[in-house]
Amino acid sequence: MTIHPSSAAIAEYAAGGRGLDEAAVWSVEIHLEACEQCRARLADRAAGDTLVLLDRVAAALDREIAAGPAPVQRARRWAAPRRRWLVVALAPWATMTVAVLLCASVLTRLLPDLPSLVLLLAPVAPLPAVAAAWSRRLDPAGELISSTPVAGLTMLLRRTLGVLAVIVPVLALIGAGTGTSLALMLLPCLAFTAGTLAFGALIGVPRAAAGLGALWTLAVVVPTLITEDLPVVLRPGSAAVWALATAVLAGAAVRRADDFRRLTSHY
């Protein structure tokens, strides 16, 4: 049962609350928030100049609202999923990667004696965009998002899948056009992506992406271009090894999921 403030308390509160202590003022305000009857009593007790002021404020607000922009339309149902999966900050990196792959495809056709440049670049193709997906320096809203409950491995996986949804079809089309094995292009691509997430939990996703990219370039790409001989890791028999590496690294990333929720993580 709610106890309503007395008429004297309402009158004192309407006059400015000078005759009430802080506890009484607080009690009246809390009660007024939930009691329409007492709010009506308060309105009856308001001084004439207070009512005039309220009328002036209401009239000014009505004019501002009428002169202001139209109300924003309610967001469509697909707007929230679109914002979760499509990150504008990743668009330049994904576009750059697609452009590099297309250039590599053209060079492969022009230089048929060299090993496929697309095959050499496919494992590290997603890494720049994946690094941008979990970097406060490259994401304008990075610090804000990292402090929300949705931050963590789930958000990183959504962004990574968004990157792969752009790059994997491009690799598949190029592979089909050049006759390159799809398994040898897509499995190393997925393995390096999973490795970036797994090592990213320890040293940060941007550092992991940069380290794996540099290691692949120095250990595989450069020697291959010098010797003009396809390395063992990209020959047909290596597909099963890449599939196993992808599974192991993906499991390691999932096991380290809590590291992506810490404020001290390398974000």
CA angle 17/22/28 to nearest 5° reads 65
Taking phi over 0 as left and psi of -120 to 50 as alpha, with beta for the rest, 153 belongs to alpha
Per-residue pLDDT of the chain (267 residues; tens, 9 = 90+): 468 888 888 888 877 777 788 888 888 888 888 888 888 888 787 777 777 887 888 888 888 888 877 766 665 555 555 555 556 667 888 888 889 888 888 888 888 888 888 888 889 988 988 888 777 666 665 555 555 555 666 777 788 888 888 888 988 888 887 777 788 888 999 999 999 988 888 888 888 899 999 999 999 999 988 888 888 888 888 888 999 999 999 888 888 777 666 544 445
Helix (H, G, I), strand (E, B) or coil at 180: coil
pLDDT of residue 183: 86
- pTM value is 0.63
Please compute, for residue 25, the number of CA atoms within 13 A of its CA located in the half-sphere on the CB side.
11
Question: What's the DSSP call for residue 4?
Answer: P
pLDDT of residue 4: 87
Taking a C-beta distance cutoff of 8 angstroms, is the pair 167, 98 a contact?
A: yes
Taking a C-beta distance cutoff of 8 angstroms, is the pair 164, 193 a contact?
A: yes
Cα gap 162→160, rounded to integer Å: 5
Enter the tokens of residue 106: 């053209």
